[in-house]
Amino acid sequence: MNNDCPPYPILLAEDDLISRRLCQKILAREGFAVTTVANGREALELFRQRFFPIVLTDWQMPEMEGPELCRAIRDENPNRYVFIVMLTSKGSKGDIISGLEAGADDYITKPAHPAELVARIRTGIRILELERSLKAAVDEIHLMSILDSLTGLYNRGYINERLPQEIRRAHRYVRDLSLVLCDIDHFKKVNDTYGHLVGDVVLKSFARCLAGSIRQEVDWAGRYGGEEFLIVLPETHLHGALVLTERIRRTLESTPIETDNKAIGITSSFGVVCFSPGTCKEAITPEALLQEADNLLYRAKSEGRNRIEAGRLTS
């Protein structure tokens, strides 16, 4: 077996002891890790505890036969592909079709020929590799669809999709939710003075500052539009949101952004809004929360910029 390939542990379900040991010996000799059980029920119980990408199962077994095991594995793992090979002494076309329709990918007539058995398993590995590559490509495409191409933060479409989910979760668990809407002060002047390429450097640096200031896997940030950015802080009360926002404001104020030509100092204005589901008379909408954050941001800019305005939304 190619040692460069990722490991693919095999689950072998076979009630006949001689056949089970023979198959295990053949596969182990080729470098495969094989776990054996004596019937389909044991196989399913073990599979529920530990994922096996390859399952080799006899057709006729006590307690649970091969076709039933195939169907159970397919039903319980819709998002993870398993390559299933049926071992069978049934040779009719009808039996073979029945096994494939139950969820098997391939079959081997017993007694298994060593070379054929290994070849079938290697075929399965090629299919699993293709499936893994396809999934990685799909995941990459999905990631590209929800990220802003310039800053690497979430884009407006993702914000519109996820924010309602965060609000519903806050209502369900009666936990505070805070939003921070921020805007780079006088960003148009940066573009007009230094050009849009430098402006892009500023935007990317600003985004890195936001991403590096929030809790990973809990908080999240997105580009709301132009030079406006949104930070969403689940399970965070107003005081906690203000502490975080002030830390970001001071970091931006005191850390010039290095560009090819010169270091550029920037500041930002912030609107911070929090809502506590336990005190709200009715469900809060994403539009209401964003509008209040926008109102507070506008106030911060009107009051001189490089400052924070905060408030609570109660209805």
Domain finish residue from 145, 168, 189: 145
Q: What is the DSSP string of 89-103?
A: S--SHHHHHHHHHTT
Q: Quick one: CA torsion of 75, 76, 81, 86, rounded to 10 degrees?
A: -60
Structure letter (DSSP) for residue 183: E
* pLDDT tens profile 239-270: 999 999 999 999 999 999 998 878 999 999 99
Sign of torsion over alpha carbons 67, 71, 74, 77: negative
Does one domain contain both 74 and 185? no
pTM exceeding 0.85: no
- Residue 97 belongs to a domain: yes
**Residue 121 to residue 21: CA distance in whole angstroms:** 17
- Residue 237 belongs to a domain: yes
User: Cβ distance 221 to 248 under 8 Å?
Assistant: no
Q: What is the DSSP string of 230-290?
A: EEEEET--HHHHHHHHHHHHHHHHH-PEE-SS-EE---EEEEEEEE-GGG-SSPPPHHHHH
Does one domain contain both 141 and 160? no
CATH for 230: 3.30.70.270
* pLDDT tens profile 36-90: 999 999 999 999 999 999 999 998 888 898 999 999 999 988 888 999 999 887 6
Does one domain contain both 163 and 298? yes
- Residue 2 belongs to a domain: no
Does residue 20 sit in helix, strand or coil?
Answer: helix
* pLDDT tens profile 132-185: 999 999 989 998 999 999 999 999 999 999 999 999 999 999 999 999 999 999
| pLDDT number for residue 122 | 93
- Residue 3 belongs to a domain: no
Domain region containing 190: 156-312
Residue whose C-alpha is closest to residue 52's, from 116, 139, 125: 125
Catalytic residue among 14, 166, 227, 292: 227
CATH for 108: 3.40.50.2300
Sign of torsion over alpha carbons 177, 179, 169, 143: negative
Residue written as tokens 């036969």?
65
- Residue 225 belongs to a domain: yes
First to last CA, the chain: 64
Total tally of structural domains belonging to the chain: 2
Domain finish residue from 120, 145, 170: 145
Checking if the pLDDT of 115 tops 70, the result is yes
Does one domain contain both 178 and 127? no
227: annotated active-site residue: yes
| pLDDT number for residue 91 | 62
Domain finish residue from 112, 145, 178: 145
